[in-house]
Amino acid sequence: MTHIIDLRSDTVTRPTPAMRAAIAAAEVGDDIFGEDPTVNRLEERFAALAGKEAALFVSSGSQGNQIAIKCHTSPGDEILCDANSHMVHYETAAPAAISGVAIRGLDGDRGVFGPEAVAAAVRPDNIHSPRSRLVVIENTHNRGGGTIWPIEQVAAVSRIARERGLAIHMDGARLFNAVVATGIALREWASHADSVSVCFSKGLGAPVGSILAGSRDFIARARRVRKMLGGAMRQAGILAAAAEYALDHHIERLAEDHAHARLLASLLAAAPGLEVETLTPPTNMVYFRLRGATHAEAEALSARWRARGVLVNHTGSGRFRAVTHLDVSHDDIRVAARIMVEESATMPPF
């Protein structure tokens, strides 16, 4: 049987045996009554790590983002975020559907924009315009290539937003990747935002779950919105136990994923037909292109890789994304790169 090396996303990770044991041993109760001790402990622990008053365990990163948006805005408001952010491309227009708000996309540099862009985008206070209400920072930035926001940039954007009366939400789905890569504590990143969310089901390797943190009043509202969205979970300690295990055992090891991404980028750069966007990926993502290829040609190459056991995400227009994670070893990276280079060499020149 072909050994599958799945580089499509860090969401494909499976719970380790030790994480499964933690899940099986979890003490549970009814979370809607506030009686699940494992969920309560996780929420209190994360709030302390983030330097916030309270936190809320939610089912997914998208749910956390949408709860935050609904709590920060009113129908008819406008959100400012990078034009290539996750909530623009991958959350099914939920801000409009759920919260009745518009999104104004800013032109960032690999997902990072500056205070001047925020200042220019804030709407004037008149009856013709939506009210600018919320700035969303995605850190790390997915479509930007796993980009880490410079902490000084986060602080500057936060200052201008607050001066203009806007709230700040940090979509930190992979924020722990930034923590490990920079050595800057979660609390410092979160101090520049009114709310922050983190996923446990990506690089941290839990099967399900994210968390949202903010002020006590904000989380009280968030708990009600979670219920409204059907996100109320009962004996959720089974899932929270996996998240707790991830916090205990899977944060520092993210450095391995970053090293594997750099190795993969260097090996793919040797292929004449592949163009790697950055030879030093900041975190665990490698974006690259098949030079001059059509969508169909890139899909054909992706199918060849798949047939040989290497799964990579084709994001469109000949651009690919490979994501390293805890289920991919150093040897897997070398094998995957060899297969990808071999197959790309068989494609006709473009």
Same domain, 119 and 231: yes
Compute the distance between CA of residue 64 and CA of residue 58 in angstroms, rounded to an integer.
6
4 found inside a domain: no
- Judgement on whether residues 276 and 185 belong to the same structural domain of the protein: no
pLDDT band for 1, please (50, 70, 90 cuts).
low
Q: Amino acid identity of 39?
A: V
Answer whether residue 5 is part of any domain: no
Is 350 part of a structural domain of the chain? Answer: no
Q: Where are the beta strands (DSSP E) in 36-164?
A: 54-58, 77-82, 102-106, 131-138
**The 3-state secondary structure of 253-303, one letter per residue:** CHHHHHHHHHHHHHHHCCCCCEEECCCCCCCCEEEEEECCCCHHHHHHHHH
Domain end marker among 222, 248, 274: 248
Please write the tens of the pLDDT for every residue from 146-199.
999 999 999 999 999 999 999 999 999 999 999 999 999 999 999 999 999 999
Do 243 and 101 share a structural domain?
yes
Residue 179 lies in a domain: yes
Q: Which of 230, 248, 266 is the last residue of a domain?
A: 248
**Residue 273 placed within a domain:** yes
Specify whether 214 is located in the same domain as 156.
yes
Residue 44 falls inside a structural domain: yes
Percent of the chain with pLDDT over 70: 99
Q: What is the CATH number of the domain that holds 179?
A: 3.40.640.10
Q: Please check whether residues 144 and 81 belong to one and the same domain.
A: yes
- C-alpha distances in angstroms, 257 versus 9, 113, 133, 250? 12, 26, 36, 11
Which residues, at least 6 apart from 144, have a Cβ–Cβ distance to it below 8 Å? 82, 84, 108, 110, 111, 112
Residues 111 and 203 in one domain: yes
Domain's final residue, options 194, 222, 248 = 248
- pLDDT, tens only, 263-279: 999 999 988 889 999 99
194 and 284 within one domain: no
Q: Within a domain: residue 259?
A: yes
CATH number at residue 274: 3.90.1150.10
Closest CA to 333 of 267, 237, 246, 276: 267
**Under DSSP, is residue 134 helix (H, G, I), strand (E, B) or coil?**
strand
Residue 6 lies in a domain: no
DSSP 105-117: EE--BTTB--HHH
pLDDT band at 82 (very low <50, low <70, confident <90, very high): very high
Cβ proximity of 310 and 339 under 8 Å:
yes
CB 132 within 8 A of CB 166: yes
Mean pLDDT of 242-268: 98
Q: How far is residue 129's CA from residue 342's CA, in Å, rounded to a whole number?
A: 54
Domain count, the chain: 2
Instruction: Say if residues 200 and 59 touch (Cβ distance below 8 Å).
Output: no
Q: Do 22 and 159 belong to one domain? A: yes
Q: Are residues 260 and 235 in the same domain?
A: no
Phi/psi at 3 (nearest 5 deg)? -75, 120
Distance separating alpha carbons of residues 228 and 223, to the nearest angstrom: 9
More confident residue, 28 or 317: 28
Q: Are strands 131-138 and 167-171 parallel, antiparallel or unpaired?
A: parallel
- For residue 264, what are the domain limits? 253-345
**What is the per-residue burial (b if ≥16 Cβ within 10 Å, else e) of 55-80?**
bbbbbbbbbbbbbbbbbbbeeebbbb
Q: Give the mean pLDDT of 277-295.
A: 93
Omega before 140 cis (within 30°)?
Answer: yes
The backbone torsions φ and ψ at residue 290, rounded to the nearest 5 degrees and listed phi first, read -90, 110
Instruction: Clarify whether residues 225 and 101 are in a common domain.
Output: yes
> Does 240 lie in the same domain as 317?
no
313 and 202 in one domain?
no
